[in-house]
Amino acid sequence: MQLHVLIVSIVICRTVAEFYKTKPDFVKTCTRSDPSFDDCSREAVQNLFIALGPGIPSIGMRPLDPLMIPKIRILQGDGPVNVNAALDDVTVTGFGETEVLVSQVDSKSYDFYTKVRVPKIRIEGTYDLKGKILVIPLVGRGDCWFEPSNMTIDIVSDVKLYEKEGFVFFNVTAAHVKYNIGGLKLRMNNLFDGIESLEESTNAYLNANWRPVAESLRPILSKTIEDILLGFLQQLFHNLPANFMISDVKYIQSKKTEKKL
Ligand SMILES: *[C@@H]1O[C@H](CO)[C@@H](O)[C@H](O)[C@H]1NC(C)=O
Ligand SMILES: *[C@@H]1O[C@H](CO)[C@@H](O)[C@H](O)[C@H]1NC(C)=O
């Protein structure tokens, strides 16, 4: 029995090491010292987004479009938004059309800076809400959708290098997101338990005032995007050796760990 386990683990280790030697087709390699690195990197990240759309099962990446999220909890205290809400069975479509505008990698820390644009996103799910947005008290539960358009997202990813099975990898430790949107349409069905006149007028009011509505949801949305993004980046880069992406990546362990603040 134990021998069996041993043999199985040896076989798995071999396959893992072999796996790290074979660069998948969706990865484009760039050279950091190359003057045109940023252009190459932008194209490389664009290729990644194209591959991430339908998902990459070989490295355990679930689809990015549609993106399924079981639950988003929204708890926000004082201020213009005072909401206790949950979104369940959320489906997000549109990230498959992500256009990469800028991709830069710090030559020392390897932190990533990425700027993307997503023309149209649709978020659908079931909401359960009790709270206040723009001084309007809102209560209800039912189906809803939100459609932010022309979203541009600035992403700063904190990166540490580490070694595994003789290969260097990127450990994405945090993602910081700033976004802007060009518009927002939304619909919440069954507001106020379906008192129709109130439901229609409130939905109309929220759409007419989409900018402050979007502004009030910003902290929640930023955090949600950061959490989802971080999960994707970690899964991706724990499975792709760093030199697949950056051929001349330099990993000096002692310098990295002794770095003073
Ligand atoms: C999208 O937004 C950017 C800036 O945030 C703007 O420059 C661009 O013109 C917008 N594009 C469309 C199609 O609205
Ligand atoms: C990645 O970084 C986090 C936070 O610094 C750390 O807890 C984790 O152990 C690191 N993972 C690897 C594989 O180095």
pLDDT band at 245 (very low <50, low <70, confident <90, very high): very high
Residue 16 is predicted with a pLDDT of 65
Whether the pLDDT of residue 18 is over 90: the answer is no
Q: Is the CB of 149 under 6 A from ligand 2?
A: no
Q: Which helix (H) or strand (E) holds 2?
A: helix 2-21
What secondary structure letter does DSSP report for 62? P
Whether the pLDDT of residue 120 is over 70: the answer is yes
* Mean pLDDT score of the chain: 89
Q: Is residue 259 one of the residues assigned to a domain?
A: no
Which ligand neighbours the alpha carbon of 230 most closely? 2
pLDDT band at 15 (very low <50, low <70, confident <90, very high): low
The amino acid present at 239, given as its one-letter code, is: N
Query: Quick one: average pLDDT of 7-33?
Result: 78
DSSP string, 112-180: EEEEEEEEE-EEEEEEEEEEEETTEEEEEEEEEEEEEEEEEEEEEEEEEEEEETTEEEEEEEEEEEEEE
Q: Is the CB of 203 under 6 A from ligand 1?
A: no
* 13 CA → ligand 2 middle, Å: 21
Q: Is the CB of 137 under 6 A from ligand 1?
A: no
Q: Is residue 153 one of the residues assigned to a domain?
A: yes
Residue 178 corresponds to which tokens in the numbers above? Answer: 């700033």
Whether the pLDDT of residue 10 is over 70: the answer is no
CATH number (domain holding residue 116): 3.15.10.30
Q: φ, ψ for residue 260 (rounded to 5)?
A: -95, 150
Residue 84 is predicted with a pLDDT of 82
Q: φ, ψ for residue 26 (rounded to 5)?
A: -80, 0
Q: Is the CB of 160 under 6 A from ligand 2?
A: yes
CA 253 remoteness from chain centre? 28
* 182 CA → ligand 1 middle, Å: 7
Query: Quick one: average pLDDT of 226-241?
Result: 94
What secondary structure letter does DSSP report for 109? T
Distance CA 192, CA 99 (A): 39
Whether the pLDDT of residue 5 is over 70: the answer is no
Which ligand neighbours the alpha carbon of 251 most closely? 2
Q: Is residue 251 one of the residues assigned to a domain?
A: no
In this predicted model, what pLDDT tens digit does every residue of 156-204 receive, in sequence order?
A: 999 999 999 999 999 999 999 999 999 999 999 999 887 888 999 999 9
Q: Is residue 9 one of the residues assigned to a domain?
A: yes
Residue 181 is predicted with a pLDDT of 97
Q: Is the CB of 9 under 6 A from ligand 1?
A: no
Q: Is residue 120 one of the residues assigned to a domain?
A: yes
Whether the pLDDT of residue 79 is over 90: the answer is no
Residue 213 is predicted with a pLDDT of 87
Distance CA 188, CA 190 (A): 7
Which ligand neighbours the alpha carbon of 153 most closely? 1
Residue 73 is predicted with a pLDDT of 84
| Atom 14, ligand 1: residue with shortest CA distance | 150
Atom of ligand 2 nearest to the CA of 238: 13
Residue 226 is predicted with a pLDDT of 93
Report the predicted TM-score, pTM, of the whole model to 2 decimal places.
Answer: 0.86
Q: Is the CB of 150 under 6 A from ligand 1?
A: yes
Of 152, 178, 179, which is best to mutate to test ligand 1, by the most ligand atoms within 8 angstroms of its C-beta?
A: 152
| Atom 3, ligand 2: residue with shortest CA distance | 173
In this predicted model, what pLDDT tens digit does every residue of 29-51 receive, in sequence order?
A: 999 999 999 999 999 999 999 99
Q: Tell me the helices (H) and strands (E) count for the chain, helix number first.
A: 6, 8
Q: Is the CB of 104 under 6 A from ligand 1?
A: no
Q: Is residue 254 one of the residues assigned to a domain?
A: no
Residue 78 is predicted with a pLDDT of 61
For the chain, percent of residues with pLDDT exceeding 90: 70
Distance CA 111, CA 233 (A): 12
Q: Is the CB of 253 under 6 A from ligand 2?
A: no
Q: Is residue 207 one of the residues assigned to a domain?
A: yes
Distance CA 82, CA 6 (A): 56
In this predicted model, what pLDDT tens digit does every residue of 50-59 receive, in sequence order?
A: 999 999 999 9
Residue 151 corresponds to which tokens in the numbers above? Answer: 């979203």
Beta-carbon contacts of 187 under 8 Å, excluding residues fewer than 6 positions away, are: 144, 145, 203
Q: Is residue 20 one of the residues assigned to a domain?
A: yes
Q: Is the CB of 256 under 6 A from ligand 2?
A: no
Residue 43 corresponds to which tokens in the numbers above? Answer: 């194209």
Whether the pLDDT of residue 130 is over 80: the answer is yes
Total domains, the chain: 1
**Residue 88 is part of which domain span?**
2-245
Distance CA 116, CA 126 (A): 28
Atom of ligand 1 nearest to the CA of 152: 5
